[in-house]
């Protein structure tokens, strides 16, 4: 997982509350990504950012928001509008957003909303 940190590892929230997941990288990568992982469904892209102060929606952006104020940081907010927020969230980064570059993943945050 080296170079990308996510915190916290486990997060518990009550329904109706917004929650922010942290992602920091020290790899000097330009591109960063957020994925959601559910059992049997693989990884689904929530948001990605190719450069500071710019980001694009992925396949399942509804109910989520992001910011990219610094190159090293790409926090994800799970809002109360997300209908089924309980999942394992993975942050990743790559050298650039070019398609031939592999992505490096953080250790993940497991969010449980009750």
Partner 1 sequence: AQSVAQPEDQVNVAEGNPLTVKCTYSVSGNPYLFWYVQYPNRGLQFLLKYITGDNLVKGSYGFEAEFNKSQTSFHLKKPSALVSDSALYFCAVSLYNTDKLIFGTGTRLQVFP
Task: Provide the binding-site residues for partner 1, judged by CB under 8 A.
Answer: 1, 4, 6, 31, 40-45, 48, 50, 56, 58, 90, 92, 97-100, 102-108, 110
Nearer to partner 1, 51 or 81 (CB): 51
Least Å distance between CB 14 and partner 1? 23
Cβ at position 1, least distance to partner 1 in Å: 5
What would the two tokens of residue 2 be? Answer: 């080296």
| Cβ nearer to partner 1, comparing 4 with 19 | 4
Residue number, 1 or 81, with CB nearest to partner 1: 1
Token look-up 């992505």 returns 103
CB of 94 to partner 1, least distance (A): 9
* Contact of 85 with 113, CB cutoff 8 Å: yes
How far separated are the first and last CA of the chain, in Å rounded? 29
Closest to partner 1 by CB, 71 vs 110, is 110
Residue 80 and residue 89 in contact, taking contact as beta carbons nearer than 8 Å: no
Question: Cα 67 to the chain's mean position, in Å?
Answer: 11
Match 């942050």 to its residue by tokens: 91
């Amino acid at each position: 997982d080296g170079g990308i940190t996510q915190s916290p590892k486990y997060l518990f929230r009550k329904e109706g509350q917004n929650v922010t997941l942290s992602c920091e990288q020290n790899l000097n990568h330009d591109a960063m990504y957020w994925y959601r992982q559910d059992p049997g469904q693989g990884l689904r892209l929530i948001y990605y950012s190719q450069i500071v102060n710019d980001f694009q929606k992925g396949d399942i952006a509804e109910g989520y928001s992001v910011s990219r104020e610094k190159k090293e940081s790409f926090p994800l907010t799970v809002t109360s509008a997300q209908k089924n927020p309980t999942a394992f969230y993975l942050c990743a980064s790559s050298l650039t957003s070019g398609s031939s570059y592999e992505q490096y993943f953080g250790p993940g945050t497991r969010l449980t909303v009750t």
